[in-house]
Structure 1
Amino acid sequence: MTDIKSASTPAWAKVTARVALELIEHEAIVLEAYKDSADVWTWGVGVTNASGHQVHPRYLDKPATLERALEIFVWLLTEKYVPAVVAAFKGATLTEAQFAAALSFHYNTGAIGRAEWVKSWKAGKVATARTEIMNWRNPPEIIGRRTAERDLFFSGKWSAKGLAKVYSVRKPSYQPDFRNVRMVDIRKALDVVIA
């Protein structure tokens, strides 16, 4: 369903189901609009109005389907995040694991273009790059994700198992209800979205 790819995008820079699953492993899904920790209206897999997809008021008290949230997520990755990863690694060829790790890092930090670890890796300083990726460790809760990205990029160790954390929204605060998480197998839904 979602096959957005520019002619200038290298073959290695494809958002496959495996790549999307890896990123979602580090995120969560909320099917209606909620306020994030910075009081920004958010929906789906961390999507805000700033992405170009109208979240609020579209999904306020109107939950979307899992397939719709995944479709927008894959679109957002492809349109807004893949080009920056491609630019940062210009002249290099990444494996699927390396691409997934770099894309996850960029989706979380927005900093792939200025990350020292990328420059070191491209210069052949692999051990230095492996250490430098862990410099991106604030807030401390992100260390697990950064470790998984490091292990994926430098060792090819995938962490996704096909399950996603899906939260409901508490009202009237419109905060995710972190006490009630459902683990949902999203592999079939991603297969529909990524055809």
Structure 2
Amino acid sequence: MQTSAPGVTFLERHEGVVLKAYRCPAGIWTIGAGLTAASGVVKPRAGMVISRAEATGLLQKALRQNYEPAVKRTMPGAKQHEFDAGVSFHFNTGAIGRASWVQHWIDRNWGRVEHNLAAWNKGGGRVLPGLTRRRAEEYDLLADGDYGTGPARVEAGLATMVVELDRAELDAAHAGFKALGYNVGDSDLGFTIGGVRAFQRDHDLTVDGIVGRATLSTLQRMLDARAKAKQPAAAAAVGGTESTVQAGAEIDPALAWVGPAILTFAALFALWLAWRYRDAIAAKLAPRFPKLARYLWSI
């Protein structure tokens, strides 16, 4: 048994499909339905663009190689829609072999299946609304064969939303865009299409006015770079306190190395950050030095 066409569509709807390679918040090149080089089916690189059909084909190949075999072993005798739900869960968590809801599914104890499946809704130690919604839809698929529809939301003047954000997530994204200097409005339905396109253009993304995985991942990455950039400056300030010692005051020779060491560490840390977040630097340089920015985006 393999994932059905509706099952692939269900998974793509939840994962999002990006046709131009982008860096995830951790800096790993990603394309399609969240595929990285670790998938074994593609090696995303700067500037890589694929078609929609290629994205689906790569996802199907990754499922056959890396996910479907485990679901076959763990869910013997599954009907097609049950198998598809298991694949979606395993693709997202990698935990089909240890998830307690599976045994309850084997026992046909649907109340426990729903309860235990819903528990897989946390990331970083906190409940994530997006995962709560996904687990609920996976249960509907598992129990009732309901693949859902999930049409993209389009509002006049606003960017198309292909991921669902709750109010807290939406507010955080609004604040993030504005902190980076992009006016995306303050609608509780989304972001202005002009602001989103400006952000996409400045960060070497596909300028399509669609808010999905690539745009939100890049937003988070730029905010992370902004926050981390303040750390070397803080360390340098600490290291520089030696110069504020009152004239004539003696410095313990055993501690004389501390200030220079902190400054050296701050400088090395700043260089490491500059390399790790070179795409953020490229976005800043692009208006005046487009060739240099293009080079930084390419490595």
TM-score, with length taken from structure 2? 0.49
Q: Where does structure 1 lack aligned partners over 5 or more consecutive residues?
A: 1-12, 183-195
Shift of 1:161: 5.9
Structure 2: how far apart are the matches of 1:97 and 1:85?
12
Distance of 2:136 and 2:41 partners within structure 1 = 30
Aligned residue for 1:157? 146
* Alpha-carbon distance between aligned partners in 2 of 1:17 and 1:171, rounded to the nearest angstrom: 33
Q: Which one of 22, 38, 44 corresponds to residue 34 of structure 1? A: 22
Amino acid at match of 2:22: Y
Say which of 74, 78, 88 aligns to 2:60: 74
Deviation at 1:158, TM superposition (A): 1.6
For the Cα contact (< 8 Å) 1:34–1:175, is it kept in 2?
A: yes
Deviation of 1:103 (Å): 0.7
How far the C-alpha of 1:28 sits from its partner, in A, is 0.9
Aligned equivalents of 1:172, 1:56: Cα separation in 2? 20
> Relative contact order, CA 8 A, sep 6+: which one is greater?
1
Instruction: State which of 121, 134, 147 in structure 2 corresponds to 1:145.
Output: 134
Contact 2:39 2:62 in 1 (8 A): yes
Q: Which residue of 1 aligns with 2:272?
A: none
Letter in 1 for 2:89: F
Confirm or deny that 1:170 pairs with 2:200. yes
Number of equivalences: 166
Which structure shows the bigger proportion of residues in helix conformation? 2
Q: What is the CA-CA distance between 1:20 and the residue it aligns to?
A: 0.8
Q: Distance in 2 between matches of 1:179 and 1:136?
A: 31
CA contact (8 A) 1:33 1:174 kept: no
Structure 1 stretch displaced more, 100-109 or 122-131: 122-131
Task: Check if 1:123 corresponds to 2:107.
Answer: yes
TM-score by length of 1: 0.73
The CA distance in 1 between the partners of 2:207 and 2:117, in whole Å, is 31
Q: SS of 2:81's equivalent?
A: helix
Which has more radius of gyration? 2
In structure 2, the gaps of 5 or more residues are 153-160, 164-196, 213-299
Question: What are the Cα deviations for residues 74-104 of structure 1, in whole angstroms up to 9, with x where unaligned?
Answer: 1111121100101111xx3112211111111
Structure 1 residue corresponding to 2:77, chosen from 93, 102, 107: 93
Q: What residue is the counterpart of 2:43 in the other structure?
A: 55
Q: State the AA in 2 paired with 1:65.
A: S
**Counterpart Cα distance in 1 of 2:104 and 2:207:** 40
Letter paired with 2:15: E
8 Å contact from structure 1 (residues 36, 175) kept in 2: no
CA spacing shift, 1:135–1:174, aligned 2, 3 Å: farther
Shift of 1:178: 9.4
Task: Give 1 or 2: higher strand fraction.
Answer: 1
Aligned residue identity for 1:84: A
For the residues of structure 1 that align with 2:79 and 2:202, how far apart are their CA atoms? 45
Q: Does the CA contact (< 8 Å) of 2:20 and 2:205 recur in 1? A: no
Matched, 1:17 2:5: yes
Give the one of 206, 210, 225 matched to 1:180: 210
* Aligned equivalents of 1:134, 1:38: Cα separation in 2: 27
* Distance in 2 (alpha carbons) for counterparts of 1:35 and 1:26: 19
3-state SS, counterpart of residue 170 of structure 1: helix
Q: 1:125 Cα deviation (Å)? A: 2.6
Change (3 A) 1:116 1:174: farther
Equivalent residues of 2:7, 2:147 under 8 A apart: no
Task: Determine the C-alpha separation between the residues in 2 that align with 1:72 and 1:165.
Answer: 20
- CA distance 1:76–1:83, change in 2 (3 Å): same
Change (3 A) 1:24 1:32: same
